[in-house]
Structure 1
């Protein structure tokens, strides 16, 4: 992932892990409050009460070759390095930033519905950060480490509903463990391994997962993974009260950005837009409209 050198938003908050910092670190109070609220919401709801409305598969069993906790720890380290770099560039948003507050508000509504898709999400230490850059990009790393770039909010002029669709999509990649699966497939192929490698223990692939932490930001997900994340993200957002029709308008905007040769299209290099993607979302929007109405949507 490339970062702009243009300092847009100064910050004093980069480079310290949430669960490692001192309880008296005042500069982190806003993020700590957000973290507590999100975690409490997850524990209180116990996940979504209704069954999933979208149809997605169970994913490859190859992901079992990479220990989830090992990968999440590697992701947390890489995430802190990214924040430190953004801070050094004066581009990490401070807690009072209006756009960051907006993203926190969206995350607070989405997080309580995450555990339905992955029980590990109950113990994840969620973070949401905003990086000042013209780059059109956003991601959620394993373990719930979310980042948005100001370019995706500004250049696409996203509504809250559309921003929720992006966040839900990225959360879905983490919840469905697509990074874990892609790393396992890659390393198993390189080593000539299969599921039978479990008989030899997970140490080798676990160590590789740590070494490959830097690749988590550049992994290419499969078409199946992207479809999976589209649908799970759609349902997450609908359960949180965001209009599912925004998924269609979002990808229409993405398509126009691609056609116009937009600047800094990092997100679109790994999330290509296209008519079939939009058609699949249109087919699934009716499945979650009831969830949207139950959540207070109109």
Structure 2
């Protein structure tokens, strides 16, 4: 009986995995294309992420750290809006997301974007690294790309698959398995869990195209990561703990930049 339940569980998990393999974006000029395992619906993850984001914004507001630097907040939002205007290249539906962009006062070198376009930039990453608008576009474009590719949903689906694998026999036997705390998982994924190198590479290249199309110099992505590497050699910034960096990353960016310079030049002429 146990063997039958296990076999049945494996069949159900395999069926769910096959059904859940999707490509969440168009390929763009950079050719981003990869099938992703998605066992949770976009609506579930967006709702959980929105709930988590509201909690994070509330914490920053209660601590007197939300958007306290008006000039910096204007800069971050202005750069973000130019990037957001380009998202239909990869996802037409993202044009209608309820985008939110906020800045929290913190010395951490960090930023994140949750599912559905919920962006938070830490003041430390801009001020401590003395980022230009182009370099800021590289950071924000990278995070927007995580949202476009639904990396949170993919990571949460992987966590769900693990939980389902552990509990499938019990479920089939009629035993109760506790419901997942999706909002907590959404926060954990966005704030503490490292993305895979594949996800990071996707966010790098899609973000590079977004910034080029928005009229920000793609070469700034290289200087940004050089600054991040230098900062990491001393203080070990939290951004690097969840965003692997290194010479290979910079090499990949430099390889793609010539392909994207015509988009950048066209955007500059159109402005």
Equivalent position of 1:273 in the other structure: 245
1:123 shift after superposition:
2.1
Tell me, what secondary structure is at the counterpart of 1:192?
Answer: helix
d(CA) in 2 for partners of 1:284 and 1:116? 17
The answer for unaligned runs of 5 or more in structure 1 is: 1-49, 194-203
- Aligned with 2:30 (options 37, 54, 68): 54
d(CA) in 2 for partners of 1:205 and 1:230? 37
Tell me, what secondary structure is at the counterpart of 1:75?
Answer: helix
Tell me, what secondary structure is at the counterpart of 2:102?
Answer: strand
Q: Report the TM-score when normalising by structure 1.
A: 0.74
Equivalent position of 1:227 in the other structure: 201
Specify whether residues 283 and 180 from structure 1 end up closer, same or farther in structure 2 by C-alpha distance, changes over 3 A only.
same
Equivalent position of 1:295 in the other structure: 267
Q: Which runs of 4+ in 1 moved over 4 A?
A: 204-208
Q: Report the TM-score when normalising by structure 2.
A: 0.81
The answer for unaligned runs of 5 or more in structure 2 is: 1-25, 167-176
Q: Deviations over 1:228-259 (max 9, x none)?
A: 00000000000000000001111111111111
d(CA) in 1 for partners of 2:187 and 2:235? 26
Report matched runs for 1:135-284 at 5 Å.
135-192=108-165, 209-210=182-183, 212-216=185-189, 217-259=191-233, 261-262=234-235, 265-284=237-256
1:207 shift after superposition:
5.3
Tell me, what secondary structure is at the counterpart of 1:128?
Answer: strand
d(CA) in 2 for partners of 1:69 and 1:146? 18
Name the larger-Rg structure: 2
d(CA) in 2 for partners of 1:171 and 1:206? 29
CA contact (8 A) 1:93 1:129 kept: yes
- Aligned with 1:92 (options 66, 77, 80): 66
CA RMSD in angstroms, aligned pairs only = 2.2
d(CA) in 1 for partners of 2:50 and 2:33? 27
